Structure 1
Amino acid sequence: MNPFHACREFLATLRTHQLRGSGTPAAEREVARRPLGNYLGTGIELSANTILMKSLSTNKPQSLTRRSFVRNSSKALGLASLFGGLPRGWVGGAYAGDGPEVSQLRCGIIALTDCSPFVISAEKGFFKKYGLDVTIAKGANWAAIRDALSSGDNQFTHMLIGMPLASTMGLLGAPKKPMVIPWLLNRNGQAITLKSDLKGKVGADPKALKPFVEKAKKLGEQMSFAMTFPPGTHAMWMRYYLAAGGINPDKDISLITVPPPQMVANMRIGKMDGYCVGEPWNARAIADKIGFTSVTTQDIWKDHPEKVCAFTAEFAEKNPKTIKAVLKGLHEASVWLDDMGNRPEQCAIVSKPNYINCDKEVILGRLLGKLNYGDGRPPVTDEFPMHFSKRNCNYPQPAFAKWWLTQFRRWGMVSTAPDYAGVAKQVMRGDIYAEAMKELGVTDRTQDDTGWEMFDGVKFDPKGDLEGYAKGFAVNSVKEGN
């Protein structure tokens, strides 16, 4: 619609209400129902409305004269002319500087339970509350998600914590593209699944797997295990698990990459003997009777970090208000998600075909902490099920990045010692997180440099000798560069 014709129609609506003597409330309802931005086709929903609404609230219907109406109409028509030339996606607040720099955004996700903060924030209107119109775009695999962020097709995305680190450093085939993590999405909620043939032979101890690996090697048929992306969380959990059992993932087995939603189908046809992935694809293997859970990743590292919300560093620098608006929406969604009473509704939403595309009952069990290993071990209540907000979940701790960098070093993904502190500081943007949360009155979540102990008894100190830690494992693939 032509902006001037649109504005004329809009003003006619206001004039009709006032000349009828219907009073300010009715006119306000009509203004709220049909915002001026919609008439102008610019995506603006607040700009001129504010000025016109003020006029309505200060002028009684009977005081509206031809002169005052023409005066107010001229003001609005001038605004229409101005706004009609603005680019689509421009955000006005009551006045333009109050809102995010970019309002229309695309967010990439992978079909995993831990995409929930993005989905819930979009579905429940938490993004919209902070001036954002977010389209959720499901990706086929992690490489596609990374590339869509790097190219600008997506403005923010669901990512494995190691991916922004690898992209910033230009590792493992990733084009060098600095990225930032101002928000951790969740803790826990992944697992290592083994094929049903190993039931009763291998439980929670990976050492029990080693004889099967050695037998396969002697026959010239390496066992095959899958993860979802080389620098990602699932790769590191699988590598750590195998190495704790005396198995070198770079020499003793074949380690392959399979997208999360395809894990179950590939195990069904015998492509792998085990895999590490996020939920619900471990619970799904049990439901389909093709595999069982050896360990959860929270068994390997209690309350570990998992997925993140990532942006390119370039986008974050240019659009600080937009980043904070995203984080505020995620905060509200995460608090909602950690109310256990909301988890059935969460599953009903995220199970839809355009998100995870999995039975909601399969998703729900482990979200409620009901852990059935699927191999005859008694079901247990998980002490550390997936959570999204509590226990300082969302702060982007530099300590976590440092641990990931030690694993890059351990497994030969870098040939010299990385700048542990420098890269961690560059990528893990606690300053952005803190600024956004301060505006919401959330000030009790801060940096934590406390170390932790893994399930093999090895302790990690983020303030200690990181290079020594990386090289100190009995099973490693450390490379030394020039």
Structure 2
Amino acid sequence: MDIATPSDGALEKTHLRIGFVALSDAAPLVAAKVLEFGHRHGLTLELCRQPSWAAVRDKLLAGEIDCAHALYGLVYGIELGIGGPRDEMAILMVLNRNGQAITVSTPLARALDREGNLKAALATLGRTPVFAQTFPTGTHALWLYYWLATHGVHPRDDIESVVIPPPRMVDALERGTLDGFCAGEPWHAVAEARGAGETVVTTSEIWPNHPEKVLACRREFVKRYPATARALVRTMLEACRWVDAPEHREEISAWLAKPDALDVPRELIAPRLTGREGGKRYSRAPLPVAFFDGGSVNYPHVAEGRWFLAQYRRWGLLRESNVSASDDEAIAARVNQTRLYREAAALSGVPSPAEAQPGIDDA
């Protein structure tokens, strides 16, 4: 259903503004710019750091940025108009899998150790617990909700869920206005380093090799600039392959530490980005963030898009009266640009997997 032509051809647009949020999994974008992978595909990339996912959404829709490092669920939220403006969106590829976590405050971590289960630990607070995520329909909200529910805590009734940009979460945890948060690294490492909290679960424990950030744009961009879109996917596949090499994880950590990227000390980025550590509660690090893995990371499976739609219904964000579950396949096929991705991957010699991919309940 997506718009694509057989080969790159002449690029319709050569200078692209790409948004990102200060997270370790923005590594492929930073590598693509620093090493100028786009040049061999006719592209010049300009990275535009954004303060929040809401800013990414607003600038995408306003045309101030062309594409973005984005939460998978942010794209579907915009497509459906859940809690904000609606527009036709496109996922060009998956940028990474795994690499997120849930951290709770140090007092709550001690209560969890004493009580032995989350529900009892939350009861010791004597008030409604407050947990933060990064966007109402985003991946972090859904990982948090899924994890809470598995521990008998209803995420819509038993806690207060608030939206905070990732770089501000540790300050809120330290001030005592948060009891926990779900986000990407390096903010969990920062929380532990400052004694504000402890990482209690990583998202790869909730759903091993789950999709996380994607390369997103409006579908109008794909319609107007199909050759450019393919060239961008090829550029980012090259960057993802480079970042995924173990010997490059330390190198990219130094670039991420710079003020115009994450502005966080390298020693708080590298251990979890390289997969050496998972936090003080882990004797052995969990699955690390993956960026390429022979291309298996990057294919935008339609089945994974359907999973997000099912979760929106589960938590009352999307009602059957608005969008029928029978429409989910068609919606996901419109958003996830599988044909364009396959063409770009083939031009880059990257194999595309079969379409079938299990969701969290089948994993």
Deviations 1:98-118 (A, max 9, x none): 431111111000000111111
Partner of 1:186: 96
Does the 8 A contact of 2:304 with 2:357 survive in 1?
no
Is residue 213 of structure 1 aligned with residue 116 of structure 2?
no
Distance in 2 of aligned mates of 1:415 and 1:451: 23
Structure 1 gap ranges (5+): 1-96, 461-482
Alignment of 1:215-254 (within 5 A): 215-216=124-125, 219=126, 221-254=127-160
Matched residues in 1 for 2:355 and 2:119: separation?
36
Calculate the TM-score normalised by the size of structure 1. 0.70
Look up the match of 2:355.
Answer: 448
Secondary structure, counterpart of 1:371 in structure 2: coil
2:184 matched to 1:278?
yes
Q: Which of 77, 82, 85 is the matching residue for 1:171?
A: 82
Distance 1:251 1:199 in 2: 22
Equivalent position of 2:340 in the other structure: 432
1:141 aligns with 2:52: yes
Residues 420, 364 of structure 1: alpha-carbon distance in 2 compared, 3 angstrom cutoff: same
Alignment match, 1:401:
305
Contact 1:207 1:246 survives alignment (8 Å): no
1:9-57 CA-to-partner distances (Å, cap 9, x unmatched) read xxxxxxxxxxxxxxxxxxxxxxxxxxxxxxxxxxxxxxxxxxxxxxxxx
The AA in structure 2 aligned to 1:433 is: Y
Kindly state the Cα deviation for residue 415 of structure 1 after the two structures are TM-superposed.
Answer: 1.4
Higher RCO (C-alpha under 8 Å, 6+ residues apart): 2
Q: Structure 2: which 5+ residue stretches go unaligned?
A: 1-7
**Structure whose CA Rg is larger:** 1
* 8 Å contact from structure 2 (residues 108, 122) kept in 1: no
- For residue 378 of structure 1, report the CA deviation from its aligned partner: 4.8
Partner residue, 2:4:
none
In the alignment, what sits opposite 2:362? 459
User: What's 1:130 paired with?
Assistant: 41
Q: TM-score, normalised by structure 2?
A: 0.92
- Relative to structure 1, the CA distance from residue 207 to residue 397 in structure 2 (aligned partners, 3 Å threshold; closer, same or farther) is farther
1:152 Cα deviation after fit = 0.7
Contact 2:250 2:274 in 1 (8 A): no
**How far has the Cα of 1:276 moved from its partner?**
0.3
Q: Tell me the equivalent position of 1:467.
A: none
TM-aligned CA deviation for residue 227 of structure 1: 0.4
How far did 1:421 drift? 0.4
After superposition, what is the alpha-carbon deviation per residue over 1:235-288, rounded to whole angstroms, capped at 9, x for unaligned? 001101111111111111111000011111111111100000000001111111
1:89 paired residue number: none
Distance 1:432 1:207, change over 3 A: farther
Residue identity in the other structure for 2:312: F
SS at match of 2:268: helix
User: How far apart are the structure 2 equivalents of 1:147 and 1:386?
Assistant: 27
| Aligned CA-pair RMSD | 1.7
Aligned-pair identity (%)? 36
- Alpha-carbon distance in 2 for matches of 1:287, 1:332: 33
Contact 1:370/1:379, CA 8 A, preserved across alignment? no
SS of aligned partner of 1:381: coil
For 1:148 and 1:207, the matched residues in 2 are separated by 44
**8 Å Cα contact 2:111-2:121 kept in structure 1:** no
1:81-138 deviations in whole A, cap 9, x for unaligned?
A: xxxxxxxxxxxxxxxx943111111100000011111111011010122111111000
Cα separation, 2, equivalents of 1:378 and 1:192: 13
Count of aligned residue pairs for this structure pair? 350
Tell me, in whole angstroms, the C-alpha distance in 1 between the residues paired with 2:279 and 2:268.
13
Letter in structure 2 aligned against 1:212: A
Match for residue 388 of structure 1 among 279, 288, 291: 291
Question: Distance in 1 between the 2:112 and 2:222 partners?
Answer: 46
In 1, are the aligned partners of 2:51 and 2:165 still within 8 Å (CA)?
A: yes
Contact 2:36-2:44 within 8 A present in 1 as well: no
User: Aligned in 2, Cα 1:207/1:244: closer, same or farther, shift over 3 Å?
Assistant: farther
Give the aligned residue type for 2:307.
W
Q: Which amino acid aligns with 2:250?
A: P
Tell me the distance in 1 between the aligned counterparts of 2:224 and 2:174.
47
CA distance in 1, matches of 2:116, 2:330: 36
* Correspondences of 1:462-477 after superposition (within 5 Å): none
Structure-2 separation of matches of 1:102 and 1:400: 30
Q: Write the distance in 2 (CA, Å) between the matches of 1:300 and 1:235.
A: 13
SS of corresponding position for 1:292:
strand
Deviations 1:335-362 (A, max 9, x none): 1111100111101111111111111111
Residue 412 (structure 1) aligns with: 316
8 Å contact from structure 2 (residues 304, 358) kept in 1 = no
